Amino acid sequence: MKFKRKSAPPSLSSKLRIGGVLAFVFLGSALGAVAQTLTLSLKTAPPNAAIRVAGTGFGTKEAVDIYFDTTDELLGITNASGALPGYTLTIPAMAAPGTHWITAVGRKSGNAAQTSVGVHTPWPEHGFGKPDKGLNPTENQIAASNVGQLDIGWRARLAGRSDAQPSVAGGTVFVQADDGRIYAFNATTGGAHLWTYKTGGTDAVGTPAVSGGIVYFGTTDSNMYALNANTGALIWKTATAGAIYSSPIVVGGLVYFGSFDGSVYALKASTGAVLWTYATGSAVYGSPAYSNGTLFIASQDSNLYALNATTGTKLWSYTFGGVGNASPAIVGNLVICGSDDGIVHAIDTQTGTERWSYTANAPIGGSPAIANGKVFAATTDDNIYALDFGSGASKWTATLDTPLVGALTTANGVVYGTNASGLVAFDANSGTKLLELPVGGSPRGGATISDGTIFMIAGTNVDTLVALQVNAGNSQVVKRNDQAPQVARLRPNFKLTPAP
């Protein structure tokens, strides 16, 4: 038997904020009027994320179709009170960045409610985030098939040079520069300037970390800063005894980073209070990586350290044949790191013993990236290597005219790097060069991928934040419609069975 949808009764539509989520509420007729509500467990989420959908005001023991935009994704059943208990809806893997709509419609009563969800693929800190693979796993707009169509969408001017890699969170791009400032730009409206905060530092190479509405970053004035990500207002700053080039990471309410005073720091993210420090034998330049309660960080004393992330206690150390400036990355039970000895090292995260190594022809500068079963590493002799992350066997090598600078990054089957020519992109599977795009001036930091946009820094004496997008500037490109779908036009999928 098929359910017939009744036309929704004449109603007034209003807005109601429930549980922090803006829901469209449809008010029933005067006869026993009951408001239909719809709430989500998350206001924003990336593709493939699972969110909980709940609602009230539907018919008793009624089948309710739950739509993502116009596609019927789930069939729920209300309880004796007409409430829709929490059902898990998975954001479609190919959902484009921007506003989407969740709609619930009762098959018998016709009662309906809608609420919006923002789909975004942020890049909130160095290496994208734990475990610092340099991989954005949910980026779905730029692929090998269209990366060659990237062009400059917009630029935003800085007041100085920058060797930093941008971070992106909450629709905002954050970047540091050597004028001692951190800048915040709107990521979606042509790079409109939002705010700037001046520190006492000069040089800037770190990627800010954004967590819980706070942006964390260090500078050469030896301080780690925490600012309100929306306003740029100072929340706290904590001094170390040396310049900070290390990009911070935020895990479980703690901020981790290294300092040129030779120590690794763990601060409380809310107050900046020092929880613990660990002294290495030399300056700490690179960013830490985190996995399963352990912090991994390289020092210029040629060692990679594994520290208990809660106490700072040393678990083990591994000695390179050269200075360790690059930040490590983690895959499974391996921590991957390169050094000035020209070797990519894969070390067991539990024991600190080397599982495999690959000898390149020159020092390894930037952080590696890991995806598609491969480790990607760049050397100062203009090469990029793809290695099997299980064995270290070479998969392919690509050679450029000038060396890559900054960290390698990857998303959706494409590996990105920056060199004197601009942005370069390779097919992650074959090593085929897909793009070499001049962006004006020489880039010095790595590329960041978020919401179908590549963000990078380029320039000469004064730098700009550059945003690259597919078919940028093409007036023929039709923008996605992000308006709420009309409930009356939604069509149920009668093949669906009730979700558990």
The confidence score (pLDDT) of residue 199 equals 94
Predicted confidence at residue 441, as pLDDT, reads 73
Per-residue pLDDT of the chain (500 residues; tens, 9 = 90+): 443 444 443 333 333 333 334 444 444 433 345 689 999 999 999 999 999 999 999 999 999 999 999 999 999 999 999 999 999 999 999 999 999 999 999 999 999 999 999 999 999 999 898 778 999 999 999 999 999 999 999 999 888 777 788 999 999 999 998 888 999 999 988 899 999 999 998 877 789 999 999 999 999 999 999 999 999 999 999 999 999 999 999 999 999 999 999 999 999 999 999 999 999 999 998 899 999 999 999 999 999 999 999 999 999 999 987 766 678 999 999 999 988 888 999 999 999 999 999 998 788 877 889 998 999 998 888 889 999 999 999 999 998 877 777 788 999 999 998 887 789 999 999 999 999 998 887 777 789 999 999 999 887 666 889 999 998 866 555 677 789 999 999 999 999 999 98
How far apart are the C-alpha atoms of 370 and 329, rounded to whole Å? 8
Q: In whole angstroms, give the CA distance from residue 208 to residue 250.
A: 10
pLDDT of residue 16: 33
End-to-end CA distance of the chain: 21
